[in-house]
Structure formats: C-alpha cells, structure tokens
A and B are shown apart, each in its own frame.
Chain A
Amino acid sequence: MRIRTISIDGYGRFHNRTFDLAPGLQIIYGPNEQGKSTLRAFIADMLYGQKRSPSQRLYHEDNELRCPWDSPDSYGGRLIYVLDNNRSFEVFRRFDRKNETVQIFDRTHGCDITMQFPQLRNREPQFALEHLGLSKEVFLGAATISHLTLEELGGDEVIPSIREKLLALADSGDEYGSAEATLKRLQERMVSIGTATARTKPLQAAKARLAELRQEMEETERVRGEVSDMTKRRLELRSRAESLRAQRDTNEQDRQLLERARRAERLRQAERLQRQIDEATRQCFELSGVRDFPLDRTPEIQRAYNVAQTARSQLDRTVAGQQALAAQLEEERRRLGEGNTGDFQDIPETYDERLAELSSFLKRMSDRMEDLETARANAEDRRRIIEKELENLPDFSEAGEEADIWLNQLIQTFRSAVQIRSEEREKQAALHKQIAMLDQSVKEGGRWFAHVPDFAADAREYEVRIRLRDEQAAQLAAEAERLQAEIEEHRGRVPDFMWLSLLTVAILAGLIATAIVLGNSGIFVAAVTAGLAVFYFLGNFLYARARVKMLARRIEENGARMRSVQEGDDELCRRLEQLIVDAGCETIRELEGKFDTYREDLLKRDSLREAAEKQDRKTAEAEQRVTDLFQNYVRTFASLGETPSAEEDIEPAALRALERFRAYRDARRRLHDVRDLLRRHDAELERLHKDRNAARDEERALALEARRLMRENGYPEESRQDNVSLALRSYRIRMAQVRGKRGAIALLEKQAADLAARHDQEQADCAKHEEALARLLEAGGCACFDDWLRCAEDARKYQELRKSMALLQEQLGSLLEGGSLENLRAAVEADGPPPPMPPFTAESLASDRQNIEAELDAVEKESHALEIRLAERTAALRPVSEIEEERAEIENRVRALEWELEAASHAMAVIEEIARDKHARMAPRLAAIAGSFLREITCGAYDEIFVSRELRISVRIPHTRQIVEDPERRLSKGTVDQIYLALRLAMVQCLGELDESIPMLLDDPFANYDDTRLDQALRLLARLAEKNQIILFTCREDVLQAARGVNAPVLNLQAEIE
C-alpha cells in the first residue's frame, strides 16, 4: 500500500489542507508543534477509525482534542492510497460523533465499495484490515517508529530491551506485549489462584475449607445420631417417671390405712398412761413433808464435812514433822565443826584459760616451724633438678614468648603454599582435559560444518526452498486431482455421445428413406434437423475423446514434474539433506541445533585456551613460592636443631621444634615458681621465732600471779605442784567441798522455821472449817451429818415421783400429738370400726416411699442432665442446611477456580508453543535482513546480527570479532539506535512479506546518528521505499540535507503554513 494523497478538511491544527505524498521515501519536515504527529494520527484514523471498542461506539478521549472547535462538521477528510496491484482507493471520513460517516471508493472502477467490506459490530468497515492484513494495533506498533521509542532505549539493558520490543511486535503487534511477558502474567494469574504446590492460595484455602465442612458434616451426622439416642432415652425416662409417680400415689393410700389402725392403737395406750399418772399423784401427796428440803445443798454439806476432817488430819502430820527436823539439824552441826577456817575466795578462770591458750599456741608454733624447715629443703632439691633440665634444652630466649605462634604460622604458610600449588595443578589438568574434549567435539562438528562457509544462511535458504517445494508439490497434486476429475467427466460423456450419434444417424437415414419413398418434402426439414443433431453429437463425441487424450498427457507431464520436484535437483538441498543424514539428524532443525552446539563449542574452546594459558602461569608461580619457602625454613630450623632435607620434613621438623619450645617454656616457669616459694618460707620462719619468744614471757608472768592468789586464800599446798595449772585445779576442788557442808546446815535451819509457821496456820484453818459445817447443818434443821442424810433420802424419792409423772404426761402428749384425749377418742369414733392392722409397717411404707422418691429424683435428675446434654450437644452445631449450603458454595468456588486455572494453563501452553514456533521461524530471516541493513547503515563496521530461536540477539563486536550477547557496555547510543532501526525495518519486512507492502511512518529516528551513518540510513530507506512506502517525519536540518542527497521529496510543513 502506498498513500498518495492526504486531504484534511478539519483535524487538529489543519484545515482544508491537501498533501500529496511520494510513493517511495517521503520526507515531511517541520519544526516542533507543526503537526507531524497530527498527520500520523490522521493517517491511522482514516484507515482504521477512532473507535476503541470493536462492538460499541466508544471512542478514545484524546480524539476530542483534534476536533475543530469552530466547525465540528468539518472534522475529517480524505485519503487516497494505491495497492501493490495498482488499484487505487479513496477513503472519505467524518469523525464528528453525531454525524459520523465513512465511505470507500474504488477509484479504478469508479464505484462506492463501502458495503463490500465486512463490518465490525461498531459499524466500522474493515477495508484497511482487508488491504493491509494488519489490525490497527499491529499497524501502529510495527509500522510506526517514533523517536520516543528510541529514547526509551538506554542504560545497561539495551539489547534485552530491543529483544523485548521485537518479541512484543512479533507476538502482539504492539511494543509491550511479548509472549514472555504474557506467559509471566498468566503464571502470576495461576499463582494467584493457587497451583498444586501452593498452600495458602485461594484454591487450596477453598479446598481446605471444603474438607473442614465435610468433617463438620460427618460430625453433625454423628451428633444427630447421638441426639436421637438421647431423645429416645429421654422418652424412656419420662415414662419411668410417670410410673414412679403412680407408685407414690399407691404408697400414700397404704399410709392412710395404716394411720387409721395406728390411731385406734394410740387411743388405747393414751388411756393406760392416764391411769398411771393418777397413781403417781397420790404417792407424791404422802411425801409432801420434804417437798421443800434443800436437797440441792447436799453436795455442799458433804464437801464441808470432808474439808473439816482433812484439816484435822493435816495438823497432826505437821507436829510429827517438826520433831524429826530438829534431830537432823543437831547432827549436821556436829559434823561441820572439824577444821576448815580459810576464806577460799574465787580466783578468776581467765588465768586458766589464758595459760592453756599460751601452752597450745607455743606447741603449734613449734610444729609449724618444723614443717617449714622440711618444705624449704624439698624446694631446694627441686630448684637444682630444674636448673639441670634447662641446661639440656636449646636456648629459646631470643625467640621470645610467642615462638609457638611463630612456628605454627610457619607450618600453616608452608601447608597453604603446597595446597595452592596442588589446586593450581588440578585446575590446570582440568582445563587441559576440557580443551581436549572440546577439541574432540569441534573436530566431530567440523567434519560437517567446517567446510560450509555460512551454514546459518544455507539452512535458512534450505528451509525456504523446502517450503517452496512442498507448496509446488501440493499445487501439482491439486492440479493432478483436478485433471483426473476432468478426464473422468469426459470419459463418462464419450459413450453417451457415441450412442446418440448412432441413434441420430439411424433416424436421419430413416427420415431420408421415408422422404424418398413418400416424396414428402416436409420430411426433409426433419431430416435436416436430424442431420444437425448428428453433427452436434458427433462433434461432442470427438471433442471428448480428444480432450481425454490431452488431459491424460497433461497428467503424465504433471506426474513427471511432481517427481522432478520431489526428487529435487537443487544442489544446496541435496547437500544439506546429505549433511542431515551424515550428522545422524532427522530434520534441519536438529542439524541447526548441532551447528549451534558446534559454534558454541568453538567459542568455548578458544575461551578455554586463553584460560589455560593464564592457569599455566599461575601454577608456575605457585611452584616457585613453595621452593622459596623451603629454602628459608631450612636456614631457620638449623638454629633450632633441625635439618629438614625435603618438603615433607618441614612440618615434622617444625612440630619437633614446637615441642622443645613448649618443654623449655615449662621448665622456666617451674624454676621461677620454686625460687618464689623459697623466699616465702624464709620470711615465715623469721616471723614465727619472734611470736614464740613473746608467748613464753607472758606465760611466766601469769603463773607467778596465780600462785600468789592461792596462798593468800588459805591454800599453801600450791607449792607442792610444779605446774601452776594443776595447782589451780586442786585449789578449786578444796573450795567446793567446804562450801557444800555450810550450805546443808543453812537449808535445815530454814526448813525448821517454815514448819513452825505452817503448824500455826493449820491449827486456825481446822477451827474455821468445823464452825462452817455446823452452820450448814443448821439450815436443813439437822443436828448432825447423819440426820441430814436421812431427810435427803425422802426428798429424793418425792422428786423421782414428780419426774415419773412428767414423763407419763409427755408420753401422753406425744400420743395425742398436740390434741386432747377427748379429740383422739372422737377421731377414732369418726374413723368407724378400727381396721385390722395392715401387713406392712409404717417403716416399710416409708422405706418404699423413700425408694420411690429417690428413684424419681434420680430419673428426674437424669432427665434434666439429658436435657442439658441435649442442649449442649446441639448448641454448638450448625444446622445441616447451613453446612450443605456453605459446602455447595465452596464447591462452586473450587470449580470456578479450577476452571480458571485450567483456562490459564491451557492458554499458557498454546501461547508457549506458538511463540516458540513463530520465533524459531522468524529468527533466521530477521537476522539476515537486519544484518544486511546494519551493515549498510554502519558502512560494514557492524556486519553481523545473530538472532537465536528465542530471539536472543548477539552482535559481533568489530574490534574484537567476538560474538557477544551483552554488548551494551561496548556500544554507543547511536549504534544502539541503528541496531534497533535495522531490526525494526527487518521486522516490518518479515511481517509484510506475505501480504500487501506496509507503509512505514518514521518519526525522527536519527537523533544520535553521525553524518555518515545518517546518509547511509537514508540511502537504505530510499532503497527500501521502493517496496514499502516510507514517510519520514523530521524537524532536523541535517536530515533534510541528507534527504536531498538521496533525492527524496520533502514536504515542508512550515513553508506550507506560512
């Protein structure tokens, strides 16, 4: 498609403007804000309309901005374009929503063809889709390259960004919807629903809730069963309670019967008691003389009598005691009078204690001094032994206290150096092994690919030719089928025409004969008609036979061509097919995979060789370090008594030296300790001598003082004792004996005085008690105690009679139960003749009733407990309906989520498969086209772009000739723009190669180009524009100048406006 004329009635800043565009490269120049973007939008809107929804008349809001304020009726215009088959069309549109119209005219045939195109539900005719084969999104995304798009490229992720845009263009037509991004979104959607491994996502949560609900349902069913059993039990209990109440009523009736019989019995007993009460009253009257006798004072008088007798006996015993004590006192006085005239005053015990302390102290002093002397002699012996040990060890005094750390460091350093050397040797060996393996692999791949100069291009070409061959074969097969059908059709006609010919010939002959015989000229007319029929059928017969022969020949030719196509005489195809067979592959894809592996192995081998060289150097350095260290250590260990001869001896020698150093350090420490001990012993011995002399002086002074005191207290026998402590002990024994005798006499004298006083007191008490007894007897009218006892006996008998009467009255009252005898008698008479005594007793009835009441109580309690249990069991239960409803709700939810999951999963699988296939098909062609474009733009500086089947982009860096996938740090912004432009132009070529050529709208894509590359880019665009119309919008003078260099027509918007 080529846009020829844009005629704007009213659109944005343009009114009544017409622009004629060149069919190839058209430059539209104008400074900013001159309407370049408006023109682009106009072209898109004219082709595809402004509606955003395919089903409804819904519009993008930004379209409002382009509507002319003063004349909305003029909002629209015309656009004329020509297709590749030179058919010309004119589109007329009005965008005003109230009066929206669109018409398409076929200018070639001069007719309105609007209704020939299918219409969307929003009434938009799909002519652009029909003519371009692209939707609006794809047209805008793929065919429009704006400077804004280029500005987005930058930073460290340039190539991935370009790849993303290419993927998106290939996958969805816009620049933001790649299949990878789509798959990621779908994966996120699935994760948000909950995949099989998730635990807390909605689907799993719903399933877990479902399991809970099932469990709850089972629990509810179980509880309902329990409740049913409990309800049954409750009914049984109610029945039992009713039965027990009936038994209680029967028991009550029995009780009333028993009550009647017992009432009659009570009356009989009450009358007997009344008689006994009358007899007791008579006897009381006879004893009425002692009615007021103070019988209650009998215990008091008995006590007074006992007290007087006791006082008399005690007085007699006191007199006898006084006489015995006087005799004993006389005897003691006699025994004390023999000698013992001294004072025997106390001597303080502090003398004894202090003397004992001093004696003990002096003994401890002597023991301690002996121990110290012995310890000192032992320490002297140890000091001599240690000094001898030190003489036999090397002198480590110069190595200092940290010699062990130093020796350990030596060991570690040497060990580390040896280990590093081993590792480096292993790495070196591994690298050489990998290189050998890659050599083998490259050699194997080289058998197939080394002699092929450009296998990738060959493979792409092979694919194209194979596809072409398949298409040709399919066309030939279809043609053969068609020809065969035609042969069959003509073969079917041949016999029909033959028989018709014969028939008409016979009729013709018959008619002629008839005409001749009858001479009727009218029959000749019929004969002429029959003759014409003969010619017609005969002609058709002959034509059908000839046609069958011709078609058979064409089928044979077709078969030969088919065989030729299938066998193929293409050298490239044969070569590649042979290569596929040789390489053991089944398809070209597989062979491409092997080629990719071969190329990767080649690159990897080179890289490994560089690494191996570096590794060799590192290994040599490690070797040299070990040697240097060994020589240093031989010199060092010589002074420590070790002479290592090999690397293996270094560590044992160091360990032995370390051992010696530890022995040396230990002996030095022990010698220091022994010397210190000797100094401490000498100091202590000196201090002990001083203390012992002081203690001896004090002991002597105390002994003299104690002996003086004993002599002064009347104990001259102290001189007989050499030891002053023993003398003090004898003094104290004598003093205790004299003091004991003097104390006994004093005690007897005191006892005699006490007895005399007590005798006087007891004599007075005895008289007083006898007087009190006489007063008490006089109150009862008795002269002596025996009279009192006799009267008391009569009074006691009178009181017993009174008590007996009261008891009988009480029994009678109990029998009458608060009523009177007359009332009871009346009640018995009212009961009628007394019934015979029932066989049961009141106790048995009461017992039965008690049992019934107890059982009834138990039944009621159980019933009550059952009610509570029922309430408890059912209280926490949700109704079954509610559980079922929630279960249905959750099941519904699980189904919905699983449905969503399945849909997303299916969409993912299809998208992945399609994208993989599409990218694999597109990649070789995209790489080839983009590579040639880039080579042209950069004048050969960058000549290769590689695009893998995943659309991963690699570029060969000119100065290193390496193919790298992350060249962003090595590329300038301009080069990035050029790579992107090359790929975008190639993408349009790929998208448009099967249908109509696509016009491209470029908006200042040369911001970072130098002059040379700008010229080259414009040359490329001019060349491409021979196939695809390119409309280049720019505001730059240099682009304008360069465009003139390629003779591109320029439309100057500024000049037009001015």
Chain B
Amino acid sequence: MRLVHTADVHLDACFAGAGLPVRVANRRRQSLRDVFQAIVRRAAEWPADALLIPGDLFEHERVTPDTAAFLKGLFDSVRPLPVVIAPGNHDPYMAGSPYVAQSWPENVVIFNRPEWIAVPLCDGRLVVHGFAFDGYEISSNPFGALAIPCDGAVHVALGHGTERAHQPPDGKSYAPFDAETAFAPGLAYFALGHFHRLTEIPVAAGRWRMMYSGAPEGHGFDESGEHVFLEIEIEGEDLRVVPKTSGRVCYAVHDLDVTPLASTQDLVAALRKMATAYSAPPILRVTLKGLCDASLVGDLQAVRDALANDFEYLLLEDETLPAEDFDELSRDPTSLGAFVQRLNDEIRDAPDPDRRRMLMRARAVGVAAHRGHALDIAGLRGGEDRP
C-alpha cells in the first residue's frame, strides 16, 4: 500500500506578516501552487494508492475562485487517484467554503463532520478515517474517540490538531490531543496536519507511526530550513516513511556586522557571498549591525536592486549604530555640541526602545542638517524600508 502525505499548504496565504511586498508575495503564492501540483503529480505517477491531506490546504478567508478551480482541475487530472482531505482550522468545512460550494471530482473525498468517518478505498483493502473542522474552532474534538475494527484492511487516519507535547509555549491550540490516547490500536499510520515542520510524534504502538508532514514549502522567516512531503509504504507488517524534499525556496535569517565595510560595494559583496551558500536564490532577512557611516546604509533600496538576481527576495533591517562619536561631538562649545549633548541625555533616559530609536534618528537627522548632508528618508521610496 502506497500513500503520499502532505498538509498545511496554505494556498492563497498572505505574506504580510513575513514583510514581503506584493510582487514577491504573488510569486510565493504561485510557488505554493507549483509545489503542491508537483506533489499531486508525483502521487499519481508513483503511483500512490491515496493522497492524504490532513488540513489547511488553503486559507478560507482568502481563497479565490481561481484556486478552487485549480484544485478541481488538478484532482480531476489525476483520477482515479483518491485524494482524501480532512479540513483543518484554516480551511474548515463550513458555509462558503469551496469544499461546500464546489462540486468536486469523484476521486476526491472530503470529510465533512467533526467526528470520525471511515472511507474504504482500493476495494476495501484500505480504510481512511478522518474528520473535519466545522469552523475556525472545532465544535467537538474527536481525538481519542477513534475505534479501529479488526477486518484485515489497512487502516490509516487523518487529523488536524495540536499535539500537546510538541506545542510551542506561546502557540494557540486547535483540537489538542495527546499522542497515546489519539493513536488507536489497529491503526497503521496517523497523518497529521497543523505543525509546519516535519515532526514525528512518538507512540507506543511499535512500528506504526504518527507524523506531521509539515508544510511543503515555508511561509515566512520562522519556517526556514528544508520542507518535505512524505511517501509512505505499508507492506504487511512493515511501514516505511520517506521524506521527499518539496520546498523550492529557502527562507533564512542572518545578521551582518557592517563595521569593517567601507562602502556599499563591500556591503553588496558581503550579501552576495551569503546568497552563494544556497543552491537557489533564497529569501533572506539580514539584520545589519555594527558601526557605520550613514552613507553606507543610507540607500538600502539601491543595495536591494543591485542584488535582485542573487536573491528571491532580500529584506534588510538596519540596526546599525552611527560610527560618529557623539560623545566627542557633544563636547563642542557650539549649538551642535549642545544639541548632541541634549539628545545624548534624552537617549540615555528614554523610557522605551521605540522612543530611543526615534531620538537616535533625531540626533542623526539634526547633525546631518547642521552639516548640510543629505540623509535618506525611510519610507520615501517604497514600503520595504523598516524604521
């Protein structure tokens, strides 16, 4: 028996939280479609006996008619491969959902109630159990209520929820469950969705396994690293799970000390060197740190433009400190010295970091204006600058 397991695709996701501009986000959304399409086709060509999608295939409040059409066409193109979907908290089975509003090809099975439903496939040799979120919060949590009959068939389950032992401390729970109570005896494999990283939940059921496949591609800088889908083979008493790389773009976060850099040329070179560490143009968020002249970080848009071919997207955050010695400047017996002295005092006594950053900017702006130097205005040229 061959199965393909993927989840948390989040088609039509919004990338505002990751700070990506619209043009990049549109490419990301298309990339999610491409990745998912490749997984579905792989399942058809392998060939798998069923494609399991335990939730969050798309985002209900953002899904477009075009995405629904794409999914219908894609699933129709791989008939008779059964596609089994257990709607999650982001794509619940409720009024207005494409699951309800669209007529799906006959090879698509969508669970539609928050209780376990058994669907026999492959002439009864495979039985898939699943349930659906009926809203953004599930009305009744079915985990722990699954019972598997001893009928000689291979039983697998699909579920979307939070396994308590692996829940991040600050994360919100959706259909929370404990692995031991959720994994019913007689179950060969439990395909889970909700966590965006490949996570295996250890269970005391011997060779049988319970796994989160993770998202097939990252959705932000908090989902860096490799992303996969799972190929599962069940032969008699044996079960084998093989992760397959699916993500095409890598998100990563770096810090860069600009103190030794003399010009933007050096900065571009340093960033370009970072890009070479990745097999494909990555999406990087680089925080610039250290001491530098204002000219070095004055026009970050130009730096981004220069590196447009090296990165899928480059987000630069400026946390550099001015190279100028403001303590020295504050000793000048001039108005400028007194101004710097006043700002130095205010910065030292600032009640919060935001106020401190504003005051540091005021100091830099005031000094530049005193000297007749131009200083770039954050946000003037586009929306990608971050104050």
Contact = CB atoms under 8 A, between A and B. Distances in A.
Same complex origin of A and B: yes
Contact of B332 (A134, A882, A902): A134
A662 B122 CA distance: 123
B378 A135 contact: no
B14 A189 contact: no
A884 B64 contact: no
B387 A896 contact: yes
B25 A885 contact: yes
Nearest to B323: A55
Interface stretch (A178-186, A315-323, A736-744): A178-186
Contacts of A874: 64-66
B61 interface: yes
B377 interface: yes
Given A179-B335, A893-B385, A910 B366 contact: yes
A879 B363 contact: no
Contact of B366 (A181, A182, A885): A182
Interface in B305-332: 323-325, 328-329, 331-332
Contact of A886 (B22, B65, B66, B387): B22
B387 A228 contact: no
A238 B372 CA distance: 72
Nearest to B363: A907
B336 A910 contact: no
Contacts of A121: 291, 323, 325
A138 B14 contact: no
Given A135-B332, A885-B20, A904-B365, A172 B371 contact: yes
B328 A120 contact: yes
Contacts of B16: 881, 884-885, 887-889
A917 B4 CA distance: 76
Contacts of B325: 54-55, 120-121
Given A870-B65, A907-B363, 11 more contacts: A121-B325, A134-B332, A186-B369, A238-B103, A879-B64, A881-B29, A900-B365, A903-B361, A907-B365, A910-B343, A911-B335
A227 B379 contact: no
A906 B346 CA distance: 11
Contacts of B387: 895-896, 899-900
B333 interface: yes
B359 A879 contact: no
Contacts of B323: 53-56, 121
A799 interface: no
Contact of A882 (B17, B26, B329, B335): B26
Interface string B323-363: 11100110111111111001100000000000001110111
A926 to B, nearest CB: 13
Contacts of B369: 182-183, 185-186, 189, 907, 911
A994 B365 contact: no
Contacts of B29: 879, 881
B358 A903 contact: yes
A852 to B, nearest CB: 23
Given A54-B323, A182-B370, A202-B379, A884 B292 contact: no
Contacts of A238: 103
A904 B386 CA distance: 17
Contacts of A179: 335, 370
Given A231-B101, A874-B64, A911 B383 contact: no
A429 interface: no
Nearest to A173: B334
B165 interface: no
User: Which residue of B62, B329, B366 has the most chain A CB atoms within 10 A of its CB atom?
Assistant: B366
Interface in A208-257: 224, 227-228, 231-232, 234-235, 238
* Chain B contact residues, majority secondary structure: loop
Interface residues of B, number: 67
B384 interface: yes
Given A903-B362, A907-B363, A915-B335, A889 B101 contact: no
A995 B331 CA distance: 12
A437 interface: no
B163 interface: no
11 contacts: A54-B323, A129-B331, A171-B336, A181-B372, A228-B95, A874-B64, A880-B14, A889-B383, A900-B377, A910-B366, A991-B333
A171 B334 contact: yes
B169 interface: no
A134 B292 CA distance: 23
A906 B343 CA distance: 10
B200 to A, nearest CB: 31
B339 A232 contact: no
Contacts of A202: 379-380
Given A177-B336, A881-B13, A899 B371 contact: no
B382 interface: yes
A161 interface: no
Given A231-B101, A896-B386, A185 B64 contact: no
A718 B351 CA distance: 141
Contacts of A870: 65
A192 B64 CA distance: 40
A1009 interface: no
Contacts of B262: 56, 58
Given A120-B325, A120-B328, A882-B25, A173 B336 contact: yes
A918 B338 contact: yes
Given A134-B333, A910-B366, A896 B101 contact: no
Contacts of B335: 170-172, 179, 911, 914-915, 918
B328 A54 contact: yes
Interface string A865-890: 00000100010000111101111111
Contacts of A174: 371
Interface string A174-209: 101101011101100100110000000010001000
A899 B362 CA distance: 9
Contacts of B26: 882
Contacts of B336: 171-173, 177
B65 A227 contact: yes
Contact of B334 (A138, A185, A889, A894): A138
B96 to A, nearest CB: 4
A879 B334 contact: no
Contacts of A884: 14, 16, 62
A752 B369 CA distance: 133
A138 B332 contact: yes
B168 interface: no
A192 B377 contact: yes
A172 B370 contact: yes
B231 interface: no
A133 interface: yes
A135 B291 CA distance: 21
B332 A885 contact: no
A885 B22 contact: yes
B15 interface: yes
Interface string B90-105: 0000011000010100
Contacts of B361: 899-900, 903
Contacts of A58: 262
A114 to B, nearest CB: 17
Contact of A881 (B14, B293, B339, B359): B14
A890 B366 contact: no
Contacts of A991: 333-334
B56 interface: no
A170 B333 CA distance: 8
A653 to B, nearest CB: 73
A177 B370 contact: yes
Nearest to A52: B293
Interface in B1-39: 12-17, 19-22, 25-26, 29
A782 interface: no
A1040 interface: no
A202 B382 CA distance: 10
Given A189-B369, A228-B95, A899-B378, A904 B362 contact: yes
User: Which residue of A53, A185, A886, A894 has the most chain B CB atoms within 10 A of its CB atom?
Assistant: A185
